[in-house]
Copies of this chain bind each other. A is one copy, B any other.
Amino acid sequence: MLRLPPLSAIRAFEAAARHGNFTKAAEELGMTQAAVSYQVKLLEDRVGTPLFLRQPRRVVLSEAGKRLAPAVAEAFQRLNAAFASLRETDESVLSVSAVNTFCTNWLVPRLGTFQMAHPNIAVRLEASHRVVDFAMEEFDVAIRSGKGDWPGVKAHQLFPVELTAVASPEFMKRAGPIKRAEDLLPLPLLDCTDECWQRWFAQAGVSKLPRLKGPIVQMQTQQMIGSAAMAGQGVALVTPALFDTDLAAGRLVQILPTVVSHYDMKYWLVYPEERQKSAKIKAFRDWILAEVARDRIAKETAAPRLAIM
């Protein structure tokens, strides 16, 4: 393939041809008239034929220039259109990756208000338990839990990953009155394979470790654990923020006020640093941070609904 002349020269020619005036072209391109003159001459040298006739106080396209100009203009229009359309459609769909529980229990119920505020942004939501790499997969933003120290991404803290014991009201009735943390020890503790329960009991002032009950289904997500609790299968340790609707609706009750934070982990909204200026990302960020703030205020004003009291 024959090599194209320098593109900057072609661009200068295109603007100059359109205006029939080097000075105007220079203005449009944000450079000086001398630069346009230089570039046009460069192009003329490259193609080996004059593209403009230098007439007194004006330039007019030569025959060669007349042949070239429309095609070049068309090519640039094509580029312009392509990038404009990219910008457009690009801003019209927001791709979100979130951990399963957060997705189902927190995000989805609230997304309606985002859609109301930004009717022209479609949201593509993908629940995934793995940490997505923005360079490998196409996501605009993600909700991750962790310490917020990921390189290359901007991270906004949403709320801490804290855990508290919950169960269904029916289960509570069957279990009988529970006044202290110790009372939970004999009950079926869901998914007690990890040390969360131990940390929760420690926080509640119970030094004795809960017994690990025989074979227990190990559940990957809080989603599953919460479902099991709601089905009355036992006591679960979940993040209250993620089950606030269930708590509010009475499908789950918080058994004791004790809340333990899961190490120092928090939930974060993250997105690539270099995309901070993206309109849709800004919109989503502003919306989700406002939602989180609203939640926090609601929680602080309302007393926690405890099962015992």
* Chain A residues engaging chain B, CB cutoff 8 angstroms: 1-2, 4-5, 7-8, 10-11, 44-45, 47-50, 53-55, 62-64, 67-68, 71-72, 74-76, 78-87, 89-90, 134-138, 272, 274-275, 277-278
Residues A49 and B90 in contact, CB atoms below 8 Å apart:
yes
Q: Are A90 and B136 in contact (CB under 8 A)?
A: no
| Interchain residue pairs with CB less than 8 A apart (29) | A2-B80, A7-B8, A7-B10, A10-B79, A45-B274, A47-B83, A47-B86, A47-B90, A48-B87, A48-B277, A48-B278, A49-B275, A49-B278, A50-B134, A53-B135, A54-B135, A54-B136, A63-B138, A64-B90, A67-B82, A67-B86, A67-B89, A68-B82, A68-B83, A71-B78, A71-B79, A72-B79, A75-B78, A75-B79
Flag if A62 contacts B138 (CB, 8 Å). Answer: yes
Residue pair B7, A53 in contact (C-beta under 8 Å): no
Please give, as numbers and ranges, the residues of chain B lying within 8 Å of A7 by CB-CB distance. 7-8, 10-11
- Majority DSSP secondary structure for residues of A touching B: helix
A60 and B10 alpha carbons, distance in the complex (Å): 29
Residue from B8, B80, B274 in contact with A1 in the complex, judged by beta carbons closer than 8 Å? B80
A17 CB, nearest partner CB in chain B, Å: 12
Closest to A30 in B: B3
Return the chain B residue nearest A272 by Cβ. B50
Distance to closest chain B CB from A111 (angstroms): 21
Quick check: A86 and B64 within 8 Å, CB to CB? yes
**CA gap between A82 and B4 in the complex, in Å:** 10
Is B84 within 8 A of A2, CB to CB? Answer: yes
Residue A48 contacts which of B64, B84, B90 (CB distance < 8 angstroms)?
B90
Report B-chain residues with C-beta under 8 Å of the C-beta of A82.
Answer: 67-68, 71-72, 75
Q: How far is the CA of A54 from the CA of B53 in the complex (A)?
A: 49
